[in-house]
A and B are shown apart, each in its own frame.
Chain A
């Protein structure tokens, strides 16, 4: 090893993780049990109890309005969802949907305020930018390890890992959107005597809405891409089917479950994109 002894980075991280695990045990337990129960209730008692046909009709109607009263998305939604049900993967789809919804919601709830903070302060931006880079480039599998340490196995660590992986685009795009608001509009706002909060809610956020929504769309897509990885630590859903197929070398079932994920991805993507319209845009 020569002059420099090996630096025990791995030991430090393990120690730190254990420290956090011990220190925040009550919080982790609460999240694992109560939040975990809630997710389970949401997926199994609510979503899965809705008759499949009703679920498809509701989504189709929403698609009709979300896409500006066109039928393309409606047709895709109906056929896609029917196909998944037909393949006997409905429960898996509902679990995956639940994981994506919760991971995305938490990401947005955390990401938007951080994005705002970053936009308002240059030092915060300087600190957060490398942190976000780190979060996005670190292989997603790595997050599974502390996730299991903190939350055991199941949906909750899956959501946790997905949140870490999926939050950065929302933070980045919120920051970008706010910083992109033209200087003259900010001056106009200041010239009329707005407080910081008024400026944020009346000018900056509405103006940044499109960019923020693009970030949220990215976040949702990243959360979806975590589905298979999260199922390695016991998150239920289509990912689990894929993993099982992989372990047994079953090409057919693997692809069918994969199709299910693609269908869900396309539906969610089109929904979030179509909702992304801004007042005052020229048609």
Chain B
């Protein structure tokens, strides 16, 4: 069962919003409705669900309704239509008291401009959520301190927010959100106000923290690179509508429409595409069964200047070059063992192309993609270049 389940959620700002929902049902666009009724469509029937432990990114440009959407999820903004279910409980039907309980125990939020309380010390900020629940002082101090330790701010407890840098302030924001151990973390452009280096650092840290915490995270951003970096799945929004939901790869490789395609056009693919996407099925020879003649025959057939050598279980042993094999064949040798070269450049399935650049340029033979010592595929330079240029890449690695 998904932790967050959003169904047909709409928000229309302005008077007579209910009337405008009819036009939405008739399929009118945001502009037409604005002209006709004067109402602004914030979110247009968004439907998605987030599984436990997932980082779900909602990505869109400013005005796309993403910040409204996240506020509909914890009902900081009242939805016009639709439902939000957290852990099987429908938030839109709750009275104020029940809603408060859910906000206290299940949902925490991290804000774009940190929203720390300037009159409270760091630890007092971190314990705010617990204080609101009337948890006694010693216990909440303890939890808040642990939370601050976790984000690396254990030494700053008695400082005030104004004394900390932006990056540190947002760590406090994160610690505050984590202190009451919520199931769901709502992060509204949490890293957008930070400068690029710090932003990257925070992204890495969030990913690292998430390995330990396994929270369900709804992350809002306008930065596609950020979305692709941290998202398990991404929802792209435009004019209040969700245009596509998918994993980063799915969105890059199969954009649902022109809008998404234009959007992902400028993405630095090298940071998203991994070895898996550009590797080819390798031609191999078996070190136990095959000798130089077989190897030479295969290389000739495929037009290769080298070939990888494995054992019967596809465990990578090394490679041999055409010259060596020809020489060995000339000497009537029976095995490849004497000419086997073992200095292989290896990467794993998850290695990004960005990192592959660093190793491929001085590799003499195609780079080997290895998983558990088994040879899964090889990467040739041409595939890297083709993938970067944005050519169609499909999952079995053929380049068109």
Binding site for B on A (CB under 8 A): 182, 184-185, 187-188, 190-195, 198, 202-203, 206-207, 209, 278-282
Contact = CB atoms under 8 A, between A and B. Distances in A.
Contacts of A279: 119-120, 160
24 contacts: A182-B115, A185-B117, A188-B111, A190-B76, A191-B76, A191-B103, A191-B109, A191-B186, A192-B108, A192-B109, A193-B100, A193-B133, A198-B132, A202-B117, A202-B132, A207-B119, A209-B119, A279-B119, A279-B120, A280-B118, A280-B119, A280-B161, A281-B162, A282-B163
B80 to A, nearest CB: 19
Given A193-B133, A194-B132, 7 more contacts: A182-B115, A184-B113, A188-B117, A190-B103, A192-B104, A192-B108, A192-B132
Interface of B: 71, 74, 76, 99-104, 107-109, 111-113, 115, 117-121, 128-129, 131-133, 160-163, 180, 186
A188 B115 contact: yes
A280 B111 contact: no
Nearest to B173: A188
Nearest to A210: B119
B57 to A, nearest CB: 19
Contacts of B101: 193
- Top-6 shortest CB links A-B: A193-B104, A193-B103, A280-B160, A188-B115, A191-B109, A193-B100
A191 B100 contact: no
A70 B71 CA distance: 49
Contacts of B115: 182, 184-185, 187-188
A188 B162 CA distance: 17
Contacts of B112: 184
A283 to B, nearest CB: 10
B87 to A, nearest CB: 16
B162 A282 contact: yes
A278 B119 CA distance: 7
A184 B119 contact: no
A279 B102 CA distance: 31
Contacts of A184: 111-113, 115
Contacts of B131: 202
Contacts of A193: 99-104, 129, 132-133
Given A279-B119, A280-B119, A187 B108 contact: no
Contacts of A202: 117, 128, 131-132
Contacts of B128: 192, 202
B76 A207 contact: no
Contacts of A203: 117
A185 B74 CA distance: 16
A242 B132 CA distance: 55
Given A184-B113, A187-B76, A282-B162, A192 B118 contact: no
Contacts of B162: 280-282
Contacts of A280: 118-121, 160-162
